[in-house]
Amino acid sequence: MIPYPDINPEIVRIGPLSVRWYGLMYLIGFALSYLLVRYQIKKKGLNFGKDFVESLYSYIILGLLIGARLGYVIFYNPVYYFYRPLEIFAIWHGGLSFHGGLIGSIIAGLLFCRKYRFEFWQVSDLVIITAPVGLGLGRLGNFINSELYGRITDVPWAMVFPSGGSLPRHPSQLYEFFLEGILLFAVLWILKDRGFRSGILSSIFIILYGSFRFFVEFFREPDLHIGFILGIFTMGQILSLLMIFAGAGILYIRKKS
């Protein structure tokens, strides 16, 4: 067993306000994504206009936050929020869904491209390559927060999480950090200059993320208020399977178009 590092989730506190590692990870993720998109545009010599990236990210960030919150409400706890609708706005109580955030980002991207007349799949491919950076950093934030930990196990690298009881568990956040962050980014970054038709990279991201998340969910503790679906699957796995099917459909359509 490996000792859990027990890092203070708060970097600094000033009165009632605090700066937390989790929030900082996402800010760094957005910043790196922004810079990597600008780098790609410059390298490819694309002429999107002076304020293209800034305007695009204002749409994407808003869509991601709204989608992530509503996704959690709808997918993970609809009954609770049906009787407590004002709690939907209490995002400081926690509760965000990656799958909802992805849907929100896609809708925001579609609205942006429609308004400013850009080709959606070309823009999507530029951004989606950078998404694993934020995903990986977010999982590190989950690890520091001692949340979304894994199932009880006796593997040599198991850890006892402060919020997970006294038994050792899989550090599933680190599995996701490696697969959804480092590995997925490396694959997409290598493939980005292969001259694929627009939309192919986006479909590869959707398929690979769905596959990695489906796999890791076998080691991750399911949500207590949901448990297992059909006896063996988690809600995250159901949503990830839908992602894989959607990604395969997009891949087929983009290859045929």
Q: What is the mean pLDDT of each run of 10 residues along the chain (257 residues)?
A: 90 82 91 96 88 94 94 89 86 80 96 95 96 95 94 96 94 97 97 93 97 97 85 92 96 89
Domain range summary for the chain, segments of one domain joined by + = 1-16+123-257
φ, ψ of residue 147 in degrees (nearest 5) = -130, 160
Map tokens 């990236």 to a residue: 53
pLDDT for 257:
74
pLDDT for 92:
67
pLDDT for 154:
95
φ, ψ of residue 203 in degrees (nearest 5) = -65, -35
In the chain, % helix, strand, coil (3-state, to 5) comes to 65, 5, 30
pLDDT for 2:
94
pLDDT for 197:
93
No. of H helices and E strands in the chain? 10, 2
pLDDT for 207:
97
Overall pTM surpassing 0.75 (yes/no): yes
pLDDT for 15:
77
